[in-house]
Amino acid sequence: MGVVTYNYDSTSPVAPARLFKAFVLEADKVWPIAAPHAIKSIEVEANPSPGTIVKVNFVEGLPFQYMKHQIGENDENKFSYSYSLIEGGPLGDKLEKINYENKFEAAVGGRSVYKSSMKFYTFGDYVITEDEIKALIKGSEGVYKAIEAYLLANPDACN
């Protein structure tokens, strides 16, 4: 097994508190409404807390049917959260899991900087390439940008 770490930053015109609420605290409600082109539903095993399993179901026609996350630590005061992708999605037979540590930081003018550190755990001697990682990120960006657009179009959402 190998481990590859990749760091990714992105900016957003939305404040960190709203992004955190949309991506973490109210994801099961917001994602299917904001990104109906990709997200069919989100099932939360129990009250979201460390160890809880969250299943994201995708609409038909996408490359993946679903993915399961295991929630790590969430810090509402620092707008940080972590989780592990443990089943489905892009894992296939080459990736055991992907750990994510994410944070929304305040930026000038009420904007945010999204920072993510990803650790890809591979099976055997497989080595994931930077191009493969960038392709996975690009696929996720469609959902992230749809959620961001939803928040911008609905100023009362996730306040």
User: 123 with 93: CB under 8 angstroms?
Assistant: yes
Evaluate whether residue 158 is within a structural domain: no
Flag whether the pTM goes above 0.75.
Answer: yes
> Which pLDDT belongs to residue 37?
95
User: Is position 159 within any domain?
Assistant: no
Backbone angles phi, psi at 43, to 5 degrees: -110, 125
- CATH number, domain of 28, equals 3.30.530.20
In a domain, 113, yes or no: yes
Amino acid 110: pLDDT:
93
Gap between the Cα atoms of 149 and 38, Å rounded: 14
Q: Which H or E element spans position 135?
A: helix 130-153
Average pLDDT, the chain: 94
34 inside domain? yes
pLDDT bin (cut points 50, 70, 90) of residue 50 is confident
Domain count, the chain: 1
For residue range 10-40, list pLDDT tens digits in order: 999 999 999 999 999 999 999 999 999 999 9
Q: Which residue shows structure tokens 């129990």? A: 46
Q: Which amino acid is at 157?
A: A
User: Rounded to an integer, what distance in angstroms lies between the CA atom of residue 72 and that of residue 146?
Assistant: 24
**90-107 confidence digits (pLDDT tens):** 999 999 999 999 999 999
Domain extent for 83: 2-153
Phi, psi of 111 (to 5 degrees): -85, 180
